A = this chain, B = another copy of it.
Amino acid sequence: MNIKIKWLRDQLRTQDLQGMIVSNPTNIKYLTGIEAEGILLITLKENLFITDSRYVEAVNTILTIEDEILVNDKKNISREDYASFFMFCENVGFEENYVTYADYKEYLQTFRVNLMETENIIEGQRVIKEQREIELIEAACELTDKCFEYLKTFIKIGMSEKEIAFEIEKYYKTHGAEDVAFEPIVASGHNSSMPHAVPGTRKIKDGDIILIDMGCKLKGYCSDMTRVMFVNYIEDEYKEAYNICLRNNELAEAEIRDGKNMKVIAQNSNNHLKNNGYVPMHSLGHGVGMDIHEEPFFGIVYDQQLKENMIITVEPGAYSIGKFGIRIEDTILVTRSGCRILTKTSKEPVIIRCR
C-alpha cells in the first residue's frame, strides 16, 4: 500500500480511530498525488477517493495499482453505500480545521458515524520532510535566489511596485515554477512599514527602501524569502534598523537545532527587538512545504520543539509605523546540530545603483 497512507493508518489506530474522512486537498495530494476535487475515505477495508465525473479520467491516469486507492464517481454512489462505508467503525476522524460547519453536519447525515476531531494529524505528518521533499524545497529556494539576483539589475527608478511584482511572477513561471507560492510583496518607501503591503502604483525613487518578500511553487513545493534593497544610498536611520533586524535574524538562526523550544527562540527574538526600540509586529516564522504557511507555526504562543527535517522560515522585522520597515527572512532546514539555510542570497544590505 501507499506508504504515507500506511503511516496514517498506524496513527489512526493509536488514536482509537477506525477510519478517516480526508477533505483538505493539500492533504489528499500529499497522501496520494491526486489533484482533484473530492474526498478520500480511509475505511476499515479500503482507501476510496470519491470525486465527480469531471475528474475520474484524470485521477485514474496518475494512480498505480500499488497505491491501492479506488476511484469512484459520486453519482454512482447511493445513500446506502455512503452509510455502509464506515460499517463496524466506532470512531471516524475528520479534519475539524478544514471542514466547514455545514459540511460537518452533512458528513454526520451521510456517513451516520461518530465523527472525531483529528487535530491536524496529517499536517503533523507533513511537518517532517522526506529527503525528496527537502530537495524540492531546496530547488524552489535556489530559483528564488536567482530571481533576487535578477531583480538587482532589473529594478530602475520610476518603476512601480506592481511592475516589479509582475516581473517576479514572470521570472518564476518562465524558469520552471508552476506558480508563485504567494503574491509577491514589493513595498517601497513608507509602504515597507506594512508587513503585508500589496504592491501598488507607487514608483521607485532615489534613496528608497524596497522590501521584497517572495517565493515560488516548484513541483508542488514552496520557497519563501525576504530581502531589502536600497536605491543608490542608505539613510542612517534605515541602516541602524537594518543592522538590528539582521542581528536578530542571525541570533534566531543560531539558536535553531533539533530539540530546541520554538517559543523560547521567538521570545528571545521579540525581546531583542523590544530592547532596541521596536515593537514585534508578527510571529517569527512558519513551516514551509506544499503550503506556503503550514505547521509548525513559530511564535511566542506556540510551545513546541524543533525537530530534525522540519523546514521553517525565520523572518524578524523592524518596523517604524508609517515610515519604513525592514524584514529579513530565510527558509531553513532544521538539522540535528543546527540548521541549513536554504535561501542563500547574501544578507548584507544591497544597494542597487540606478537612475
Contact = CB atoms under 8 A, between A and B. Distances in A.
Interface of A: 35-36, 52-55, 57-58, 94, 96-102, 104-105, 117, 166, 169-170, 173-174, 193-198, 279, 281-282, 321-322
Contact of A57 (B117, B198, B321): B321
Nearest to A199: B178
Contact of A100 (B98, B170, B322): B98
A194 B100 contact: no
A197 B58 contact: yes
A193 B55 CA distance: 11
B57 A282 contact: no
A272 to B, nearest CB: 18
A7 to B, nearest CB: 23
Contact of A99 (B53, B101, B105, B166): B101
A99 B96 contact: no
18 contacts: A35-B198, A53-B281, A54-B281, A54-B282, A58-B197, A58-B198, A94-B101, A96-B100, A97-B102, A98-B100, A99-B100, A99-B101, A100-B100, A101-B101, A101-B104, A102-B117, A166-B174, A170-B170
A289 to B, nearest CB: 20
Contacts of A104: 101
Contact of A54 (B57, B99, B170, B196): B196
